[in-house]
Structure 1
């Protein structure tokens, strides 16, 4: 990581008012979402004590997101991306209010939580393309890399504080979590509605061809295909988030407060790394560093799977977060730089499918394999699989592995 005298100072980002509003809206929204995820997972495990049901929460989020993400990408290229983002925040506020009412009315159930998961999946389908494609419209091109890194920093702040606060509040009663989630989602909605930019809708009419244009764009550019699919397979295999309630209660013997800290640990590492990358952006050997970071992610996942110590588990999860941050910032910056604006919504939708599959489908995979092999076997095998993926991608996608500078050769 090196600095470049040609890069504008970091302070230049904070002069971009639309980006600053977006940044705070994203922090509030992600914090609320993370608190909601902690509460939903613990609530489900309290109701059923089933690893399979924890996995179903992820599956029920993934399926509607998979079905709707490509249409959502087309919508993000046609309509105002900020308003789409705001609508998704408002929908999640409604979800939190529903869970609050169910808890107070004593009618919370397995079926309701699975239904809520479907709604969250739909919100994610439209939020992710609009949110990702919005950043490039709020800052000059020469600030984009640092804007992505700073966005990651804000995200990690939210992912640290959200689960930790959510676990503490849940220990005092689930209604406290749902009230706080609702407040944060409403705040995010208001902030993102205050983001103004020059909206240039795509002139392409809706058709099967335009709907799948993002898929074709990524497929024809092996660097983007390698970067996006890397996240899919690495996190699909190596993610252990869905099993954290089991580890917290049955292996590490902590309660919902401990679960909150375990959920926050990866974000501590990611926040630290995102601050480093914001100050010293990745400028050389970005492909090799990306693949190395994924291998480290897998190794730390294996360590977490084998650990029976709370603090060693926290350390391992922190390392996974730091490694994942390098991967996320590198991949997102490459996607933004390699995609023209009129395609960003649809390409972001494709990227969202990969991310959603790796996260939500990965949660189902973790729950299903844990039901067969136990949680330790599921996490360890997944971590080993992630390391194998990093090595395999080095051979399958040489354009990605040997990418030197972040920006294309012709732009320097």
Structure 2
């Protein structure tokens, strides 16, 4: 089977089931986050409250990330993912109850708000485990020679779910309300759980089972910081996501600047994921491993430009187009980063490396939401978004000058070596 086959990974039955599980979980998670954002801002009308949502998730996600990576490398991945999805289901059911008019009738708004923050906080713990577990599991389902192809399809599935989830969230809030929208989230988490049992348990490929926690964590951190391609990609993407977190402020743009309501909010929220999905589907036919460093730098530069355009726009469709293009170039960034991680990371360290990745990039989404909410409160919404885009451009320029080796990064040789190992 050729690694150049654009459908190589899809020829494995368990990988298709894995994609279904990932789609259902990302759909549920992204839809839940949008519904929460809408409800919280509708309750408070305070930009900082949107930042607090991100902060409540990022604190446990970062504090537990390295320990979670150690656990993932020591445990059977399928069973661990079952526990993660069960945890998410409990949280989504709790949010469903907190949005039930018959239950919360007469309950002070602050109590409901704090309850939402608490459940989001618990969700941060779940997320610290779910990312490394998924990253490690996919490497046990497909052979090494098609890791880049599997990463493309996995990332594409993530983005498609990120399109449907936010878009449906915006429409469902308008059509059936927050309460039944949360019921839909809970339903999809159960679908993911049921589908997951059709994937068999996998072997634990770790020669150091039972290794002391601190030694394990040090080894994982040492690998990331000593592998320039991995460290450079994670650092660059982290800063870009941190300062380019305009999507966290979309409820404000939809309600107070563009005046497009919940349906327009859904379109705005889905636009980046639509762009990224198109990029990722195209990348199955046009691989991005050649001159990966330059492509990653240009992609994040384009992302920063789009964020600035979005911040300055007062036209709904210009805003949608800016977000769409930002998603398209962000899709390039995501594929290159995932390919670097899959090709450069040894099997027995995948959990720990994925955990560091979640600290650098995954958690920077939530930290970026807090940064955006704080700066919007301090300097105004539009200024905050433009500032974030400008900082992204500055970071790309600095990285390009300070790290010529990263600028020249090419993954062709690494891919050929993996193919030779089969």
Instruction: State the 1:152 CA deviation.
Output: 1.2
Tell me what 2:327 maps to. 321
Distance 2:251 2:202 in 1: 44
| Aligned match for 1:58, one of 51, 54, 59 | 54
Regions of 4+ moved over 6 Å: none
The answer to whether structure 1 residue 133 and structure 2 residue 136 are counterparts is yes
Native 8 Å contact 2:297 2:400 kept in 1:
yes
User: TM-score normalised to the size of structure 2?
Assistant: 0.93
Structure 1 residue 410: Cα displacement: 7.3
- Unmatched segments (≥5 aa) in structure 1: none
- Per the alignment, residue 278 of structure 1 pairs with 284
Whole-Å Cα distance in 2 between the matches of residues 305 and 14 of structure 1? 39
Of 170, 174, 177 in structure 1, the residue corresponding to residue 173 of structure 2 is 170
CA shift at 1:119, angstroms? 1.1
Residue segments in structure 2 that go unaligned for 5+ positions in a row? none
* 8 Å contact kept, 1:18–1:138: yes
User: Contact conserved, 1:70 with 1:212, CA < 8 A, in 2?
Assistant: no
Within 1, Cα distance between the matches of 2:298 and 2:139? 27
Residue 191 of structure 2 is matched in structure 1 by: 187
Looking at structure 2, the residues matched to 41 and 356 of structure 1 have their Cα atoms a distance apart, in angstroms, of: 18
Matched, 1:75 2:79: no
Name the residue aligned to 2:154.
151
CA contact (8 A) 2:300 2:396 kept: yes
Question: 1:400 aligned to 2:406?
Answer: yes
Greater mean alpha carbon deviation, residues 390-399 or residues 402-411: 402-411
Please give the alpha-carbon distance, in whole angstroms, between the structure 2 residues aligned to 1:249 and 1:359: 22
Q: Is the 8 A contact 2:289 2:336 kept in 1?
A: no
- Cα deviation 1:306-351 (Å, max 9, x = unaligned): 0111111110001111111111110111111011100111011101
CA contact under 8 A between 1:54 and 1:364: conserved in structure 2?
yes
Deviations 1:168-209 (A, max 9, x none): 111131112111000100111121232225312532423312
Q: What are the within-5 Å matches in structure 2 for residues 8-407 of structure 1?
A: 8-104=4-100, 105-106=103-104, 107=107, 109-171=112-174, 172-202=176-206, 203-407=209-413
String of CA shifts for 1:53-93, please: whole Å, max 9, x gaps: 11010011000011101010011101122222222222222
| SS class of match (1:408) | helix
Change (3 A) 1:161 1:409: closer
Cα contact 2:273–2:327 (8 A) shared by 1? yes
CA–CA distance in structure 2, aligned partners of residues 261 and 97 of structure 1 = 26
CA contact (8 A) 1:266 1:317 kept: yes
CA distance in 2, matches of 1:10, 1:72: 33
**1:260 Cα offset (Å):** 1.4
Q: What is the rounded CA distance, in whole Å, between the counterparts of 1:87 and 1:211 in structure 2? A: 22
Q: 1:274 to 1:45 in 2, by over 3 A?
A: same
Cα distance, 1:198–1:394 mapped onto 2, change above 3 Å? same
Which moved further from structure 2: 256-265 or 295-304? Answer: 256-265
Kept in 2: contact 1:138–1:197 (CA 8 A): no
CA displacement at 1:212 relative to structure 2: 2.6
Cα offsets for 1:264-301 (capped at 9, x unmatched):
10000000000111121114211100100000000000
Question: Quick one: distance in 1 between partners of 2:362 and 2:334?
Answer: 13
- TM-score (norm. length: structure 1): 0.96
Q: What is the RMSD computed on CA atoms of the aligned residues? A: 1.6
User: Is the 1:74–1:206 contact (alpha carbons within 8 Å) kept by the matching residues of 2?
Assistant: no
Distance 1:260 1:186 in 2: 24
Distance in 2 of aligned mates of 1:146 and 1:297: 24
Displacement after TM superposition at 1:241 (Å): 1.7
Q: Partners in 2 of 1:343 and 1:85 — Cα distance?
A: 17
